[in-house]
């Protein structure tokens, strides 16, 4: 069904009925698509884990349509948490809070907290509001793969695994929400996203970034956010991330290509570097000063490279500031910590 232009009431009601019968629906949000089900029904939530092949110790985000619905699932909201809610919801932002008992243990993967998020996307909002139930939803992808940001990418992977897919066109942002938890009075970023550390600092006066966002987590290590432990966002094709100044990046890439002449290599890089890099397959990701563009298209591009029969993909990195922090957090994982 196509809801890009208008929300058709009949189709909306079909989705609501499906959710109420504990079905599973792929729906658009402004960040990435989600695989959603009734967050208050354990059996419905189990179907999400099955659809994604997701590890049972990686908790899901609970999506709500308004502040009233937050109260239905969360308790003991502190003053600081309320400030974050007021400043950044609805939007590409997830806050970790204490959960109420009505939220089944498989949503939180046994933790006493849950992530709450209020999507701004019109279809997502309408769906949750009409259903009148909070929707548990991880990103729409088989675990480990790049998140789905448009229907073409998702349909093959998930159509046999869910009851309904709603096509909402290409996601505006393209990378998952910023995940924040208030830890000892300090808003702490567990996963960077479109809402930046700078924005949170401006509102809250302070902000911390979990050191773990760039570290490889050891097996069995205790982490703030279980999602940090897993292989993530990765294409099948081997990828390497290039860091350094622009000049250094170009030199490193040309050297890498020269070293590996017999290998089929593609470069994902910026428009302005194209002329200086000697690679037949140069996939441009916009200009260096258009990081929103990179953010929006990178997951889809990472999926495409798997269809190109390549041996190696070389990705130009960006500065770890502003939304660059989120881009680098995902790229470092897509490259399985392989940087040059
Ligand atoms: O933009 C998004 O956040 C998308 C859309 C669909 O809303 N959702 C998404 O969900 O990215 P998922 O499941 O792919 O990622 C959720 C992240 C995981 O890293 C998970 O470990 C973390 O949030 N998380 C969820 N609940 C948590 C909790 N109680 N404590 C700490 N981290 C939590
Ligand atoms: Mg995910």
The DSSP secondary-structure symbol of 275 reads: G
pLDDT at res. 232: 78
Q: Please indicate whether residue 273, judged by its CB atom, sits closer than 6 Å to ligand 1.
A: no
- Gap between the Cα atoms of 141 and 179, Å rounded: 19
Q: Whose CA is nearest to atom 6 of ligand 1?
A: 34
The residue among 229, 227, 233 whose CA lies nearest residue 216 is 229
pLDDT tens-digit map of 284-329: 999 999 999 999 999 999 999 999 999 999 999 999 999 999 999 9
Residue 2 confidence class, pLDDT cut points 50, 70, 90: very low
pLDDT at res. 5: 43
The residue whose two tokens read 């907290």 is: 113
As a whole number of angstroms, the longest Cα–Cα distance in the chain is 60
CA of 2 to the centre of ligand 2 (A): 24
Q: Classify residue 136 by burial, with Cβ atoms within 10 Å: 0-12, 13-18, 19+.
A: buried
Report the mean per-residue pLDDT for the chain: 93
pLDDT at res. 219: 63
CA of 207 to the centre of ligand 1 (A): 19
Q: Please indicate whether residue 191, judged by its CB atom, sits closer than 6 Å to ligand 1.
A: yes
Q: Please indicate whether residue 52, judged by its CB atom, sits closer than 6 Å to ligand 1.
A: no
pLDDT tens-digit map of 214-240: 877 666 676 777 766 666 788 899 999
CA of 275 to the centre of ligand 1 (A): 39
pLDDT at res. 214: 84
Neighbours of ion ligand 2 (CB under 5 A): 139
Decide if pLDDT at 283 tops 50.
Answer: yes
Q: Which ligand is nearest to the CA of 39?
A: 1
pLDDT tens-digit map of 31-83: 999 999 999 999 999 999 999 999 989 999 999 999 999 999 999 999 999 99
Share above pLDDT 90 across residues of the chain, in percent, rounded to a whole number: 86
Atom index in ligand 1 nearest the CA of residue 92 equals: 1
Q: Please indicate whether residue 108, judged by its CB atom, sits closer than 6 Å to ligand 1.
A: yes
CA of 276 to the centre of ligand 2 (A): 35
Between the CA of residue 55 and those of 46, 66, 138, 286, 314, what are the distances in Å? 11, 29, 12, 35, 29
Q: Please indicate whether residue 61, judged by its CB atom, sits closer than 6 Å to ligand 1.
A: yes
Q: Please indicate whether residue 111, judged by its CB atom, sits closer than 6 Å to ligand 1.
A: yes
Q: Please indicate whether residue 333, judged by its CB atom, sits closer than 6 Å to ligand 1.
A: no
pLDDT at res. 305: 94
- Gap between the Cα atoms of 159 and 163, Å rounded: 8
pLDDT tens-digit map of 109-136: 999 999 999 999 999 999 999 999 999 9
- Gap between the Cα atoms of 36 and 217, Å rounded: 28
CA of 272 to the centre of ligand 1 (A): 35
- Gap between the Cα atoms of 231 and 334, Å rounded: 8
pLDDT at res. 6: 52
Residue 131: both structure tokens together:
């259903």
8 touches 127 (CB < 8 A): no
Mean pLDDT of 153-182: 95
Q: Whose CA is nearest to atom 20 of ligand 1?
A: 227
Q: Which ligand is nearest to the CA of 111?
A: 1
Between the CA of residue 289 and those of 182, 267, 321, 322, 324, what are the distances in Å? 32, 18, 13, 12, 11
Q: Please indicate whether residue 34, judged by its CB atom, sits closer than 6 Å to ligand 1.
A: yes
pLDDT tens-digit map of 317-328: 999 999 999 999
Q: Please indicate whether residue 121, judged by its CB atom, sits closer than 6 Å to ligand 1.
A: no
Decide if pLDDT at 150 tops 70.
Answer: yes
Q: What DSSP string runs through 235-257? A: -SS-EEEE-S-HHHHHHHHHHHH
3-state helix, strand, coil in the chain (%, to 5): 35, 20, 45
Q: Whose CA is nearest to atom 13 of ligand 1?
A: 138
Residue 187: both structure tokens together:
């808003």
Strand arrangement, sheet containing 265-269 = 239-242, 312-316, 265-269, 281-284
pLDDT tens-digit map of 183-223: 999 999 999 999 999 999 999 999 999 988 887 766 667 67
């Amino acid at each position: 069904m196509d809801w890009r232009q208008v929300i058709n009431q009949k189709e909306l009601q079909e989705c609501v009925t499906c959710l109420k019968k504990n079905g599973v629906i792929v729906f658009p949000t402004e960040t990435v698509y989600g695989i959603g089900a009734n967050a208050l029904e354990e059996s419905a939530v189990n179907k999400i884990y099955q659809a994604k092949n997701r590890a049972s110790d990686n908790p899901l985000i609970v999506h709500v349509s308004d502040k009233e619905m937050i109260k239905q699932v969360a308790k003991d909201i502190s003053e600081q948490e309320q400030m974050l809610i007021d400043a950044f919801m609805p939007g590409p932002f997830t806050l970790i809070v204490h959960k109420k008992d009505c939220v089944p243990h498989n949503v939180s993967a046994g933790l006493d907290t849950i992530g709450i998020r209020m999507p701004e996307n019109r279809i997502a909002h309408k769906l949750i509001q009409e259903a009148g139930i909070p929707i548990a939803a991880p990103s729409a992808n088989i675990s480990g793969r790049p998140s789905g940001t448009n229907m073409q990418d998702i349909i093959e992977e998930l159509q046999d695994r869910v009851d309904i897919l709603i096509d909402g066109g290409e996601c505006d942002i393209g990378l998952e929400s910023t995940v924040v938890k208030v830890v000892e009075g300090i808003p702490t970023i567990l996963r960077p996203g479109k809402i930046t550390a700078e924005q949170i600092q401006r509102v809250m006066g302070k902000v911390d970034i979990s050191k773990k966002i760039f570290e490889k987590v050891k097996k069995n290590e205790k982490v703030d956010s279980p999602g940090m432990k897993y292989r993530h966002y990765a294409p099948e094709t081997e990828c390497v991330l290039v860091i350094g100044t622009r000049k250094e990046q170009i030199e490193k890439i040309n050297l890498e290509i020269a070293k590996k002449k017999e290998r089929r290599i593609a470069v994902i890089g910026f428009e302005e570097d194209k002329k200086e890099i000697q690679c037949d397959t140069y996939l441009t990701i916009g200009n260096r000063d258009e990081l929103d563009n990179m953010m929006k298209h990178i997951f889809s591009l990472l999926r495409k490279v798997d269809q190109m029969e390549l041996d190696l993909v070389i990705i130009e990195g960006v500065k770890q500031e502003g939304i660059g922090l989120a881009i680098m957090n995902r790229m470092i994982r897509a490259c399985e910590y392989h940087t040059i």
